[in-house]
Structure 1
């Protein structure tokens, strides 16, 4: 692996860093002010449209979309991706992570849309791509991924109880989901729903399937927003409880084949973990910057905070941790590009275990350094901490990945 970024990555990094300084950071307080005046907290502040238009104008659009998957114009069309590899995109995701509630959305690189677009590109039919993938790539609509359920331990996907039953030329979807990211956004037009088409099947991993359910389908109820440590995550589109009460969709809305839902879910999670982990590193970098600024500006017990040994330890440990994490995530991205997701299985799990846990610690130290301000709305640290802590559960809790990783390590000795 070459540790240097290639010329294409460096060019995009420079452009994206300039975009952040000139447009994104100044828009953070503007977005908060505009949201406070909106009729509904889930409406999108106008500044988002301005940021998206500027990102498109500058060619900073759909940077995550790493594979063309046969789409016309992909890699150079106005609505398609830049044709980057995972390794090229990873440092760009880190930059957007410095303002995780604005920058990913501004560049059309926000979850869960990114994973849904990759899923549709890889497994969707031509009709599904035309109806849903193309408007997602254009930023005309948003989407949600409905897997997690309140009544079962959804970290084990074989537990999912939502029923997807074939009735003639339709599928009937019945079940209750929650923490469905993006579902509160009025621009969310479609759900990718995971449920069981064959609950009595012999193989527990061949019982699940995925179907596309338009939001306006009769029987779909977005019941309420779920808070995350008290935050509603407006800019992301919220995390909703959604009930599917006999919602009927055409059989053509099945993604892939019946029984393929588990495998599709696993394929979706690989690139998503690269995105999450690199954005987390960007969050950590912003925390380090805020710590350093605070440390040189504040005095306690007769000397600057920067001269206090414990503060120096926090900053030094944070820098070492971030450099280690970045190398591990970049190695994972490189392996995914060279040997595929299966060949990078160990590393994908390792970054999912290590990155959120370590970044939470860095953010916690940054909060501590800021005192009361650290837990307030006057700094982004509290909200960043909540987001990072949540990622220790999203895409499977730490313990699930530790269990799987340990089994792989032990297998060679058994």
Structure 2
């Protein structure tokens, strides 16, 4: 109301009050009034407000200058109303209540105290000019004029304060609703994250329990016992790695750990993580579309490597062999945009039932642990991570990171990032 519909609200208010005030001129009164002459300024007010109602306020120019425009409209209305007051008896004019209402309503609509005070001053000057200069007051009218000016100032100030308080409460209510929405989103994300952690921990814990019970329950031949011990060791390493990742993310989010940022080419991190896709596709056949002369990103190399590799781990678990993977990396404005597109080519081209598709039973709103860790690491870098399910069986993982340009003469770090093994995750 106070912004987009403010001028129209004022126009509608004038359309209701001005005809009612004009009707008061038809009632008997002590002063002799030229009704036709008084109606002309009132008709001018209605004409101004007709233009006010039909103006295209959604246009950029009018939207930017809305407050000054409303102020000018109010001043014009007050000037015409002051003329009508001078023609209808000055201090004894029945149009003073209309002047009081328009001034108070206008002070309440204007969001800045300066404009409200300026409008109130303009109204007082216009009224004093109309009742003293253009219409000679009687000897006993001084007290009446002073009381009217006093109430004009008092009511205008009261309306301005009440409106300011209403706007403040509205802002606080909007801020509270936004905070509640963010808290609800965080609560849903936390619940999904806990569910993902529980699911990921269940596999190694079940393996440890199962193979441990078999080793303890009966004697086994040396080869079988060696195989079971190897499985227990591998699952223990996976569980330890998972716990370490969770602790690291927790320390980052709580501020107990900081990112060790350095300028590093993001394409090197991507290339280093490709071996994790060996279970689903031929790494040499992965389509890479890297823009030439890509600037480096200011990242924590170890943690960003974990985030990017986590996307490949997710693809390895969710998509079967024969999958098609396309990777692109480009600069857009002040961001580096890293995109991974993947689909199961066999399921798509062999006409496999949609129910049997690798992603048929996965909801993108569900939190996968690898993607959840990647999302939080990317967020700690000031970036954005999103998952998009596209047509044709494609799934798109999009990462946006702030762009960091190297200083003149700066040499990029040359050490290679850790290369994950395809067997590093179950």
Instruction: Report the TM-score range of the alignment, normalised by the length of the smaller protein.
Output: under 0.3
Normalising by structure 2, report the TM-score: 0.22
Q: Which has the larger share of strand?
A: 1
Task: With a CA cutoff of 8 Å and minimum separation of 6, indicate the structure with the bigger relative contact order.
Answer: 1
Structure ID, larger Rg: 2
TM-score of the aligned structures, taking structure 1 as reference length: 0.23
Structure with the higher helix share, 1 or 2: 2
